[in-house]
Amino acid sequence: MSLAKPAMRGLLGKRLRFHLPIAFALSVVAAAAFKYGVTEPRKQAYADFYKQYDATKEFNNMREAGIFESVRPTGK
Amino acid sequence: MFRAVRLSTSGIRSLTQTRPCYSAPLASRCYSHAKVETDEEFDARWVTYFSKPDIDAWELKKGMNTLIGYDLVPEPKILDSALRACRRLNDLASAIRILEAVKDKSGPHKDIYPYLIQELQPTLIELGISTPEDLGMDIL
């Protein structure tokens, strides 16, 4: 039994036409997933933290803990 | 920003999908006024190239390298012409290498190489060319 003639031209072109749009789409999805799964929550966490941040109060806590050299805790 | 992304994806899609101007795998641009070579003309050109009676070793190698660079597996008639050129040059090594090359060009399409060997069988017998499989050279 003799073999039929298979397709012999444009095989790579066909493969690329199929896979490149998918690859491009998946890359965009991966970037979007990272942006909305990682960077945006991270930015939101920082924003939430600093929304209610009282720098003076934290400074005084650190001062009382004695970590500074330039300013001693109150009460000598 | 998203409009630019959408435009570029549609640009890429139109590049890859709307290509009525090419059937030949040569470096063709999408100039609508350029004459596109048909597959038959392409094959005939290459058969003629390898049929040159006084082809030299360089031209054989150059021709094969150029041919392998295209997005196609050469037709049996082109390979027949190339194998006969190898015979004229007393180059059995290149003849067997050509068979290895077309098997590699087929990539994942495993039905191409058996078809080519089937079509080339008369030529292989006439010229006394062993296939890599005959020589046990197809296993790594």
pLDDT tens-place string over residues B78-127? 999 999 999 999 999 999 999 999 999 999 999 999 999 999 999 999 99
**Hey, CA dihedral for B19, B9, A7, B26, is it positive or negative?**
positive
Predicted ipTM of the assembly: 0.70
Q: A28 and B5: CB-CB below 8 Å?
A: yes
Count CB-CB contacts under 10 A for residue A32.
Answer: 10
Chain-centroid distance of CA B93 in Å reads 18
Q: Would you call B39 an interface residue with chain A, using a CB distance cutoff of 8 Å?
A: yes
Q: If you ran DSSP here, which 8-state letter would residue A9 be given?
A: B
**d(C-alpha A3, C-alpha B114), whole Å:** 8
Tell me the pLDDT band of B8, cut-offs 50, 70 and 90.
Answer: very low
Q: Would you call A6 an interface residue with chain B, using a CB distance cutoff of 8 Å?
A: yes
Pair B41, B23: CB distance under 8 Å:
no
CA trace torsion B102, B104, B110, B114 (10° rounding): 30
Length of chain A: 76
Q: A6 and B109: CB-CB below 8 Å?
A: yes
Residue B13 has pLDDT above 70, yes or no: no
Distance from CA of B32 to the nearest CA of A (A): 20
pLDDT at A60: 96
Q: B25 and A10: CB-CB below 8 Å?
A: yes
- Per the rule left: phi > 0, alpha: psi between -120 and 50, beta: everything else, B38 is beta
pLDDT at B9: 43
Q: Determine the average pLDDT of the residues in B20-34.
A: 60
Tell me the pLDDT band of B140, cut-offs 50, 70 and 90.
Answer: confident
**Hey, CA dihedral for B100, B101, B105, B111, is it positive or negative?**
negative
The percentage of residues in chain A with a pLDDT greater than 70, rounded to a whole number, is 99
Tell me the pLDDT band of B17, cut-offs 50, 70 and 90.
Answer: very low
Tell me the pLDDT band of B134, cut-offs 50, 70 and 90.
Answer: very high
Q: B118 and A3: CB-CB below 8 Å?
A: yes
